[in-house]
Structure 1
Amino acid sequence: MPFCFDCSSLQSISEESDYFSALGISSEFDVDPDLLEEKFQHIASELHPDFYLNSNPQEKRLSERASTLLNQAYDSLKDPFKRADYLMSLKCKNVKWNDRVIPPTFLQEMFTLQEELDEMLENQDQQGLLKMREVLENRFQDLESGLLPSFRMLDSVEEPETVLEKLQMDLNAERYLRRLLDRIKIEETT
């Protein structure tokens, strides 16, 4: 953790510092969002660079680095997909994953949805866009709800490769869904 509450001082940040330890929580997928928010606010209230304006240059830099790490940690861990991606990077440091592999049926479905979306955008079909957004958000929720069971399984199997591959495919699929949803949201704001 970048701040010691016992001695009320900044702590040096090692290159091995991870987002979970920066927030003082265990390195697992199942994170209580309220606890995460509470930890973030508590630590941020001590680390903010504004509190170190009159400190020596070393403490100022340390505060800036610690605050940056804390913000990155919070941003990554509050989003289930970013948290899953980050946790995968910790668990599989020496494994190179193909960030494009997704199930063929999913890929075909995404191409079809992409074509439908292009047509709806061209025709300014607001009703169709609302329906597609609902379909995509449901798919997004299905993917998200599958993350926790997969991570639990990952910790309990002897041969984790199959579970890791499924997690990687789910994270890749999420990126496709997010791009389509983002296109709809951009259209809604214009």
Structure 2
Amino acid sequence: MIKVSKKEFVEVRMRINGKVYEEPVEPRKLLSDFLREDCGLTGTHVGCEHGVCGACTVLVNGSAVRSCLMFAVQAEGTEIMTVEGLAKDGQPHPLQEAFSECHALQCGFCTPGILMSAVEFANSCPDPTTEEIKEMLSGHLCRCTGYKGIVEAIEKAVNRQKEGEKLNGSGNTV
């Protein structure tokens, strides 16, 4: 006789894109799955499920994190931003604008993760070299663009930031 046990759930509470989510989850549910399945935030893409491709990158308390390597219960009490939280009041985030202007995306699968890493990067490295941008991008796989447009877009957004716009991760410039 096979004995089936009841699933155990843990209540988690976190703020995602400014909205509080409080949900019961299985302790082993990945943050990426929680965001997509429980919160309906499907902009966070799941590619490799091993933290290699970077498509699932989100900001957790301002730091870029691979959401496929983190359990939802580990995000208890945190502030999370997904790609859906970048644009505000119908206005694209400066990085999103630069990606559009520089033709930095094609299929778009990798773009949400790159954008989220770029927000953290631009705020922590306000005057990066092209090599530093390429190094940051080394944790992201893009099969379409060849990275040239992506690098140009990040350079453009960072240059705008140097001219007085702060890429604060809220979608607004300061």
TM-score (ref. length: structure 2):
0.30
Which structure has greater helix proportion?
Answer: 1
Which structure has greater strand proportion?
Answer: 2
- Which structure has the greater CA radius of gyration? 1
TM-score (ref. length: structure 1):
0.28
